């Protein structure tokens, strides 16, 4: 019996925001794309259109949803917002500049900067992010037909956790 053609899932991080540029912690805070972020979204949308994706899911945070809107326009798709594709919730640290965080909580900040976000009090823990991201991406992949391509627009740290989790 012949195997079904492989399905492809493309993971895309949102375009740049002023908060990225100024090193302000975003998490679930709803920062908009800046001019470069819009240009990045346009450029990637044109590249993705050539791959003819059939499904497009996005985080409901505006920086991801706006990026997805460019992809949707280029690909003729309707984006589906899914809150499971959000970035880590970073609780009371959201909105802080890295420099202010480093002064206020130097040891915690050093751990945070090393990629260990579980240190943030009141923030989301890595197993929670891994579970919700894996579930969302699994659902999207399940809807992707054999030979098909789907796109998920999300956030840097959440995507890193999802990739590591999915690859085991």
- Considering the candidates 28, 87, 94, 124, report the single residue annotated as catalytic: 87
Beta bridge partners of 149: 8
Instruction: Classify residue 17 as exposed, middle or buried by CB count within 10 Å of its CB (0-12, 13-18, 19+).
Output: buried
Q: Is 87 among the residues known to form the active site? A: yes
To the query of whether residue 14 is one of the catalytic residues in this protein, the response is yes
DSSP letter, residue 115: T
Total count of residues recorded for the chain: 168
Residue 78 burial class via C-beta count within 10 angstroms: exposed 0-12, middle 13-18, buried 19 and up: exposed
Which residues are known to be catalytic? 14, 87
């Amino acid at each position: 019996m012949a195997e079904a053609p492989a399905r492809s899932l493309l993971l895309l991080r949102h375009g740049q925001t002023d908060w990225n540029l100024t090193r302000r912690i975003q998490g679930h805070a709803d920062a908009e794309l800046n001019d470069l972020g819009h240009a990045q979204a346009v450029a990637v949308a044109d590249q993705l259109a050539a791959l003819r994706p059939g499904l497009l899911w996005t985080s409901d945070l505006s920086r991801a949803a706006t990026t997805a809107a460019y992809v949707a326009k280029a690909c003729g798709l309707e984006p589906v917002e899914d809150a499971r594709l959000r970035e880590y919730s970073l609780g009371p640290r959201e909105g802080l500049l890295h420099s202010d965080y480093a002064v206020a909580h130097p040891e915690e900040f050093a751990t945070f900067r090393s990629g260990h976000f579980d240190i943030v009090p009141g923030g989301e823990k890595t197993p929670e992010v891994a579970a919700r991201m894996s579930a969302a991406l699994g659902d999207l992949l399940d809807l992707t037909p054999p030979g098909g391509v789907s796109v998920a627009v999300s956030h840097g740290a959440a995507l890193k956790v999802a990739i590591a989790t999915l690859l085991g």
